[in-house]
């Protein structure tokens, strides 16, 4: 039986690598995205992976979008909560809107996507929930009080929900990437990247999106059924828990 996987923020960056890796592993994959139609259509044309547009910050939109995915591809058994945004500012300059937008997408969005899928996973006695958190949810980051709080919240959500899902055959895990070579990171000034960021990484390089994707494929597999409530750090040795 071919399982269906849904990846939020699944048409760009780490999410795109995850979508492709899951497809290559034999899953039927749906990639959610929020706003960049051009990038999503290009991704769809290049990979053959269908794309679905909605904001994970909107619960009703999530429920409706999930319904469309399941009508097209079958019950979603693997959910990858990857969608995320940044609205960076030092705290004394951070606005309530910047706080809310990040919390609504990066934390509440994980609830909004997981909650509608949970009953079906419980009924089928199988499910995989994998949330992409961040190194900054583990250690904090100046100028990212909103982002760090949301990503730390994702870890608490993961640990709590893992306990509820265990007897129903549902595993719930999180991955905390460090600096990964996505478009967003590569857009950082080269001098800053080479002199301030990479020297902090003991392995001496940025991570690759495919390295995160391989962790997702393993956690989604039957072979990972004994792993739940875990946080996998993938940061090149930059931070240890």
Q: Whole-angstrom Cα distance, residue 69 to residue 29?
A: 9
Contact 23, 14 (CB under 8 A): no
Residue 48 tokens read as 């053959």
Q: Give yes or no: 179 in active site.
A: no
- Helix segments in 85-237, DSSP class H: 96-106, 108-124, 135-139, 145-165, 183-186, 190-192, 209-220
Q: Whole-angstrom Cα distance, residue 135 to residue 161?
A: 21
Q: Whole-angstrom Cα distance, residue 21 to residue 169?
A: 23
Catalytic residue (choose from 27, 33, 52, 147) = 147
Contact 231, 133 (CB under 8 A): yes
Q: Whole-angstrom Cα distance, residue 100 to residue 87?
A: 10
Beta bridge partners of 127: 170
User: What is the set of active-site residues?
Assistant: 147
């Amino acid at each position: 039986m071919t399982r269906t996987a849904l990846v939020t923020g699944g048409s760009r960056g780490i999410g795109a690598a995850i979508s492709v890796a899951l497809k290559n592993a034999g899953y039927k994959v749906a990639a959610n995205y929020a706003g960049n139609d051009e990038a999503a259509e290009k991704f769809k044309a290049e990979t053959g992976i269908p794309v679905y547009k909605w904001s994970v910050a909107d619960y009703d939109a999530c429920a409706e979008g999930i319904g469309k995915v399941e009508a097209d591809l079958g019950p979603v058994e693997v959910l990858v909560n990857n969608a995320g945004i940044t609205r960076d500012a030092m705290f004394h300059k951070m606005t309530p809107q910047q706080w809310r937008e990040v919390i609504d997408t990066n934390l509440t969005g994980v609830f909004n996507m997981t909650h509608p899928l949970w009953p079906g996973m419980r009924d089928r006695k199988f499910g995989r929930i994998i949330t992409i958190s961040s190194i900054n949810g583990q250690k904090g980051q100046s100028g990212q009080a909103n982002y760090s709080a949301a990503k730390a919240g994702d870890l608490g959500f993961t640990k709590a929900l893992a306990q509820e899902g265990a007897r129903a055959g549902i595993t719930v895990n999180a991955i905390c990437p460090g600096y990964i070579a996505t478009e967003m990171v590569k857009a950082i000034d080269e001098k800053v990247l080479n002199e301030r960021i990479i020297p902090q990484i003991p392995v001496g390089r940025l991570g690759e999106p495919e390295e995160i994707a391989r962790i997702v494929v393993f956690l989604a597999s039957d072979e990972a059924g004994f792993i739940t409530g875990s946080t996998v750090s993938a940061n090149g040795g930059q931070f240890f828990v």
